[in-house]
Amino acid sequence: MKKALAGIITTLFMVGGIGFSLSAAASPVPTAALAGVAGATLSPVGERAVEDIRRCLSSSDVLNVFYLIDNSGSLASTPDGGPGTDEDFRRVDIINQSLRSLAELTEGSSAKSINLSLGFFASSYSPGVGWTPLTKSTVADLESRITTEVTVNQRPNGLTNWEAGVTQAHRAIQEQQSASPGCQMMVWLTDGGINVDQTLPAAVQSGVNLCGSDFFGEGYTASAPNGTFHALRQSGVTVFAVLLNVGSGPKDWRQELLQPLAEGSGQIEGRSTTCGVNPIPEDFSAGAYIEADSVGSLSNEFLKLAARLSGGSDATMISKDKISVPKGVARLQVIGVDAGAILTSPSGRAIMPSAGSDGFIDAQVLNDAEYGTWSVTATGWSPPAIVWGALVLVPERDPKAAGGAEQSVGFTLDTAGSTSVAVTDYDFTLAVRLTYPDGTQETQSIPSTELVSGANTLVFEPNPAYSEVQIRYTTENLRTKQGQVPLAAIVAEQNVTITPPTQFPTVSNPTITQALIGSITPAQGTFSLTAPADGNPGEVCFPGLSSGELTPAPTIVGDSADRLTNWQWSIAAADQASVIDDCVQLAPGAQTTVAFSASHPSSADSAVQALTTITLGDGSGGVLPITKEIVFPSERIYFPVVGNIVRILLIALGIILPFVVLYLVALLTTKGFHGRELRRATFPVIYNKEKKTLAPADGKASSMADVGKDAFTFLTPIDDFKKFNDPELGTLSAVVSANPLRAPWFEITPRAGTTVFTDKTAPPIYKKRFEGGQKALFSGDMSKLWALSFSESELAKPESGSDDIRGKLVVFSRDSFGASVNMQDTMAGILNSLRSSNAIAEAQKVLHAKQQQKDDSKGNKPGTTGGKPVPTLPPLPGRSPGPFTNATPPAGGSPLPPLPPRPGSRP
Amino acid sequence: MGFGLILLAIAVGEDNGGTLVLEGVIGYLMAGFATPLLWGWDAAAQRRGRINPNFASRRNYSSILRVLALAGILVSVVHLLLISVPIAERISEWLYISGIVGV
């Protein structure tokens, strides 16, 4: 397995490495690098990813590589305690071996500067090794640091949070790209499916954030438009995603997601899924998905694949073990052979697998005698072999061309020093495509017969409206002239700086001094302006320079987050610059700078590409509008912890706020209605709890219907009230519950030592509040209020005593125009209410129970109060004293007045 | 009216662009704030109306408004979640730029 993984990673680098020379003959792949690779065939998108890296390296000297390594707990052990996928830290050897192979690429005629960084991810991201130049002299130190990080400092633990790892890796690459621009590559090694917090919704949301599309169609929204991987592709990062699916059976969606993430499309649970913009735009970098599931079975397949991707192509087989090697083939390889296999050239040279190169034979074609038919002697070998050509195309580095006139740029075509093969041994057509920053393209097609070995020139007329054009060379239909053996296409790229005619000033490509960080820190950069080369004065006009705002705003032509509008651009010339209106004046030979900044309210991880039009003036009336490309990185700063805290606070506040408002509305609008012409009367009454009747207590009226209408007196008019004090009843108030879902109510709180009853019965939910007559409900309209008030001592008389309870009836009434109160109807209503209510009887029971409890706690017998006899009323006239009545008057008080004869009773 | 506000709020809240916060706040105010307010207003009006002997109470209106208000509060959670992202971004940026928290 170790070898397999080493092979995968190493091969990736070697594939890139081939791009340096574009010729296997010139830069043969170290055999150790390809040893023991296990893997699967790359998809067309995966192949394009390799081509993207090769092409990029043909025009850049720098390669920034980031290793993102899975460090989840599954590497050490399974959840049920079983062995992990790499409990012996074999990945240390894998990584370190790939470093050694990578270091090879930093030497030689086409040496590259390689910057390497490494980070780990599990439940979260953890940096490992910062950006470090990789050379043969630093590789030992790097290996040591990585070993310490993996085996000591960062032991496997936690879940598999892809998003945390990939986001931070992207950020690290962006920062490095600002410091040292070049080709970008990320090797992402994971041993399991996405698992953020062991819940499905979190995993799907995280997957959607990475992918950019709601692949399950369940209403998830990505945190950034098109997703994280689209941003990686847009910013030119080639991602090689390697899934170590070792013996874990069929993949589920969590693992299947890896392919659409890396390549932009794939299958999840049998359904076609795309991530980001598809197909991947031409100016984006594609990614590749590689799955390793066993050491041996995929080894040969991956070796063939790696060989093909490194510039090889399928050989023309004469028979199962005979290979056609005509003039033009510089190298060949047979893969999947046993250790005793032999590859024999036409000249009789026999080649066997070298030590350490398990399963393949690699051979260079040394001289003319070796052209012809090669034979393979091996068991279990499956053709075809792989062959490489020797053709190399190297474009001129950093060429410049004046716009508006026919210009030429150079490129060399040779066979990398081969003495036996010449450029003329190949048939092909060189397709040349020129691409300007706005995407406009021009193409040329040059047959190989018009090309010579050595220096060649491409003639074209650069569009002066642009300051740069990218030229891509591709060999189409590349074959050996002899035998017509097809070979892999050669791709190379060069960026040509277009300079204006000499009478115009020049404007440099912008230098970015600050990346766009979130929405707070704007991207910043400068243009350097230089006076015309012909020694005359000139001017450079930026739209809106005088106002400090770049208007019209530059056109956004590339942003993975699709932030096409709402950009704020500012621009300012250097202090010493001479500015007239929107134009910077340049004296002969002068140089100055113009600074600009850009910000956007939405933050995203992206590389923003914008085009702005600048007008050059030659000082004598001639103008030349040019388009300048501004490219700057954009970073999204987001801490998930902060997000969670904000989310919880917002939801809590958001839900509480409407309830607070409801409460306030109820508090402000709930008032008892008093109004004008309100009259009030108080009547001493006797309530018979047995018959539930009322009788006048003053003896002036024979029945309640006859009580005095004249007893009503007008109250001082007020409109409404929150609280109202009644001398007999106590406090009448409007009450708003702290629970705004409950309707407000109106209640009477009796004075101390008294109880109160109305016609309203409290709902069960408020039973405790209103029990025992300690409070009474009313409708809020005082004109409809009547209430009975009893003293607590009167109500708490022993049950064995009299049925009559003395109290007061308070009645409110409003009869318009001074009409007298209709006492008959009023009293009929009161009596009816009393008859249908058990409130007074229940209140009495509550008081008795309380009394009992009180007595029990003091150790007294029932029926006594504090050791003293319970005061009882004298018997009503016409009644004999009850068996338990006591004639003694209540302690501390005068005897109650005798009750008047009850209506209809005999004296 | 409350039902219409909820629908409008859902529609407005779907935008995920740069004006997310403003739209989220509008959506929240309409769904999670206005409907409870309308419910409270109706309840207060019905309480006051009882004073008038000619007033006919429409309890089913209050019931519908109560359901809508509770539904509106639930819908408003969606808006709050949307608003939380840019707000958290701003706070994260501030923490990052001020050096309190590193990336």
**pLDDT bucket at A884, cuts 50 / 70 / 90:** very low
pLDDT value at residue A567:
93
Handedness of CA A36, A40, A43, A45 (dihedral sign): negative
- Reported as a single tens digit per residue, the pLDDT across A291-324 is 766 444 445 555 665 566 567 788 888 888 999 9
Instruction: Look at residue A862 and tell me whether its pLDDT is greater than 80.
Output: no
Q: d(Cα A211, Cα A205) in Å, to the nearest integer?
A: 10
Judge whether A666 is closer than 8 Å to chain B, CB to CB: yes
Instruction: Look at residue A896 and tell me whether its pLDDT is greater than 60.
Output: no
Is A312 within the bounds of a domain?
no
Instruction: Look at residue A114 and tell me whether its pLDDT is greater than 60.
Output: yes
List beta partners, residue A714.
A679
pLDDT value at residue A582:
93
Same domain? For A700 and A837 the reply is yes
**pLDDT bucket at A866, cuts 50 / 70 / 90:** very low
pLDDT value at residue A826:
82
Is A479 within the bounds of a domain?
yes
Same domain? For A661 and A681 the reply is no
The most distant pair of C-alpha atoms in chain A lies apart, rounded to whole Å, by 152
Of residues A315 and A865, the one with the higher pLDDT is A315
List, as ranges, residues 560-589 from A with C-beta within 8 Å of B: 563, 565-566
Instruction: Give the chain B residue nearest A745 (alpha carbons).
Output: B47
Instruction: Look at residue A904 and tell me whether its pLDDT is greater than 70.
Output: no
pLDDT value at residue A177:
86
Instruction: Look at residue A819 and tell me whether its pLDDT is greater than 90.
Output: no
- What tokens were used for A739? 């629970």
**pLDDT bucket at A197, cuts 50 / 70 / 90:** confident
Tell me which DSSP letter residue A150 carries: I
Q: How far apart are the first and last CA of chain B?
A: 47
- Average pLDDT estimate for A769-788: 89
Of residues A883 and A696, the one with the higher pLDDT is A696
- Which of A133-137, A156-160, A473-477, A593-597 is most confident? A593-597
Instruction: Please indicate whether, in this complex, the C-beta atoms of B92 and A518 are within 8 angstroms of each other.
Output: yes
Q: Is the ipTM of this complex over 0.85?
A: no
- Reported as a single tens digit per residue, the pLDDT across A273-283 is 999 988 998 88
Of residues A60 and A525, the one with the higher pLDDT is A525
DSSP string, A748-790: EEPPTTEEEE-SPPPPGGGHHHHGGGSSEEE-SBGGG-EEEEE
- Average pLDDT estimate for A662-686: 88
**pLDDT bucket at A889, cuts 50 / 70 / 90:** very low
- Average pLDDT estimate for A718-743: 89
Of residues A702 and A833, the one with the higher pLDDT is A833
What residues in A contact B86, CB-CB < 8 Å?
602
Instruction: Please indicate whether, in this complex, the C-beta atoms of A740 and B18 are within 8 angstroms of each other.
Output: no
Instruction: Kindly report the CATH number assigned to the domain that includes residue A196.
Output: 3.40.50.410
Instruction: Look at residue A193 and tell me whether its pLDDT is greater than 70.
Output: yes
Of residues A481 and B1, the one with the higher pLDDT is A481
Question: Given the DSSP bridges, would you call strands A491-499 and A468-480 parallel, antiparallel or unpaired?
Answer: antiparallel
Is A906 within the bounds of a domain?
no
pLDDT value at residue A796:
80
List beta partners, residue A395.
A411
- Reported as a single tens digit per residue, the pLDDT across A58-104 is 667 888 999 998 888 877 777 777 777 777 776 776 677 667 666 76
pLDDT value at residue A800:
64
**pLDDT bucket at A901, cuts 50 / 70 / 90:** very low
Of residues A807 and B59, the one with the higher pLDDT is A807
- Reported as a single tens digit per residue, the pLDDT across A617-653 is 998 888 989 989 999 988 888 888 898 999 999 999 8
Residue A431 Cα distances to A59, A398, A472, A706, angstroms: 17, 20, 8, 119
pLDDT value at residue A773:
87
**pLDDT bucket at B20, cuts 50 / 70 / 90:** low
pLDDT value at residue A783:
86
Q: How many domains does chain A have?
A: 5
What radius of gyration, in Å, describes the C-alpha atoms of chain A?
47
CB pairs under 8 A, 24+ apart, for A209-213?
A: A209/A163, A210/A162, A210/A163, A210/A166, A210/A257, A210/A261, A210/A275, A211/A257, A211/A260, A211/A261, A211/A273, A211/A275, A211/A276, A212/A275, A212/A276, A213/A273, A213/A274, A213/A275, A213/A276
- Average pLDDT estimate for A888-896: 38
pLDDT value at residue B40:
85
Same domain? For A204 and A266 the reply is yes
Of residues A699 and A154, the one with the higher pLDDT is A154
The CA-based angle A71-A75-A76, given to 5 degrees, is 110
What residues in A contact B47, CB-CB < 8 Å?
669-670, 744, 780
What residues in A contact B48, CB-CB < 8 Å?
669
Helices (H) and strands (E) in chain A, counts: 15, 51
Same domain? For A658 and A605 the reply is no
**pLDDT bucket at B70, cuts 50 / 70 / 90:** confident
pLDDT value at residue A30:
31
Same domain? For A83 and A207 the reply is yes
Question: Which of A499, A526, A553 corresponds to the end of one domain?
Answer: A499
Is A308 within the bounds of a domain?
no
Same domain? For A87 and A234 the reply is yes
- Reported as a single tens digit per residue, the pLDDT across A142-174 is 989 999 988 888 888 888 999 999 999 998 998
- Which of A574-583, A637-646, A837-846 is most confident? A574-583
Same domain? For A451 and A592 the reply is no
**pLDDT bucket at B25, cuts 50 / 70 / 90:** confident
Rounded to a whole number of angstroms, the distance from the CA of A561 to the nearest CA of chain B is 10
What radius of gyration, in Å, describes the C-alpha atoms of chain B?
19
CB atoms < 10 A from the CB of A373, how many?
Answer: 14
> Shortest CA distance to A119 belongs to which of A80, A82, A167, A83?
A167
Of residues A610 and A107, the one with the higher pLDDT is A610
Q: Which domain holds residue A474?
A: 390-499
pLDDT value at residue A701:
64
List, as ranges, residues 613-652 from A with C-beta within 8 Å of B: 636-639, 642-643, 645-647, 650-651
Is A351 within the bounds of a domain?
no
Determine which helix (DSSP H) or strand (DSSP E) holds A444, and give its type and residue range: strand A441-447
Instruction: Kindly report the CATH number assigned to the domain that includes residue A603.
Output: 2.60.40
List beta partners, residue A66.
A117, A186
Lowest-confidence pick of A185-189, A281-285, A469-473, A823-827: A823-827
> Shortest CA distance to A154 belongs to which of A131, A132, A126, A193?
A126
Same domain? For A682 and A563 the reply is no
What residues in B contact A659, CB-CB < 8 Å?
36
Is A325 within the bounds of a domain?
no
Residue among A521, A665, A781 whose CB faces B51 most closely: A781
Instruction: Kindly report the CATH number assigned to the domain that includes residue A414.
Output: 2.60.40.1930
What residues in B contact A656, CB-CB < 8 Å?
none
- Average pLDDT estimate for A582-588: 94
> Shortest CA distance to A463 belongs to which of A492, A495, A433, A499?
A499
- Average pLDDT estimate for A412-438: 90
- Does the predicted model carry a pTM greater than 0.80? no
Judge whether B7 is closer than 8 Å to chain A, CB to CB: no
pLDDT value at residue A229:
93
Instruction: Please indicate whether, in this complex, the C-beta atoms of A658 and B101 are within 8 angstroms of each other.
Output: no
